[in-house]
Amino acid sequence: MTTSIAERARELTDSRRPFVHATVVRAQEPTSARAGDDAVILADGSIEGFVGGVCAESSVRAAALDSLRDGNTVLLRVLPDGTAAFPESPGALVVVNPCLSGGALEIFLRPVLPKPLIGVAGTTPIGSAAARLAGFLGFEVAAGGDYAGAVAVVVAGLGRDEEAVIRSALDAGAGLIALVASHRRGTVVLDGMELTTAERDLVRIHPGIDIGARTPEEIALSVLAEIVRAIRVDGLAPRAAVPAAPRQAIDPVCGMTVVVGPQTPHALVDGQDHWFCGPGCLQSFTAA
């Protein structure tokens, strides 16, 4: 990773912004990219750095957005039309880009996603154990009442400030709120809050997978197990944290899928918008 891109990647990671780190691992001339060139691709499809000219960049952006959505790494092979010069690489994603003027590229795409954010409210033994266990499981732990971006919030105050914490977690868009309380007391708490049906459905009273938990650590384990299952099995995510996927279009000249953004070559012809992978296809289309 080059110094400037490395610094940018750290900034994005620290600010919890998802991105894809793209690195050229093989370049076959003629091509402007070289092995080791790298870039970051953001969730809006914008690219910072260099992994090839505009034609290759178009293929990289589209593949990077798919990688960002499913969280899987990708070895992207970008080949000019009518060639398969690189040796076979099982598992590689092959894109034939008719706009390339010869040459070929292999680019490794690695999505970098923020650690899931878990809010923990309450300095009780259960709350402290939940915070420790969440960190051990690879979550980032939010405390102090700022739950923006939290996938779930564990409310373990055991009667202290529960209503305020639940309200804050709901307003922040948490996808699950685990209220550590008996079913009876938890129902009383929620009945007094005048929640909507949708809001109430997000609060789990007496949460946790039944493992016969007794100690604070065991109770924390059961609660975190339910949250992990909700994330891994049920697809739990923060309600307000899923960015809209950028628009994509088909280049009418070469047939490539392109990501529509402020820098995407564009033409308005007879009232219809057209987007292109690069200036060459734009010129060919408007000259026809």
**pLDDT tens for each residue of 104-129:** 889 999 999 888 899 999 999 999 99
**pLDDT tens for each residue of 186-200:** 999 999 999 999 999
Q: Is the peptide bond before 30 cis (omega within 30 degrees of 0)?
A: yes
d(CA 122, CA 141): 13
Q: Which two tokens stand for residue 90?
A: 């099982």
Confidence of residue 248 (pLDDT cuts 50, 70, 90): confident
pLDDT (average), residues 263-282: 84
Handedness of CA 283, 286, 287, 288 (dihedral sign): positive
Strand-pair partners of 267? 274
What is residue 100's predicted lDDT score, i.e. its pLDDT?
Answer: 65
Q: At residue 239, does pLDDT exceed 70?
A: no
Q: Which two tokens stand for residue 117?
A: 């954010």
In our burial notation (b when 16+ CB lie closer than 10 A, e otherwise), range 271-285 reads: eeebbbbbebbbeeb
Is the model's pTM score more than 0.85? no
What is residue 262's predicted lDDT score, i.e. its pLDDT?
Answer: 75
Where do the structural domains in the chain lie, given as residue ranges? 11-114+244-288, 117-232
pLDDT (average), residues 19-26: 95
pLDDT (average), residues 95-99: 71
Confidence of residue 75 (pLDDT cuts 50, 70, 90): very high
At the top level of CATH, the class of 117-232 is: alpha beta
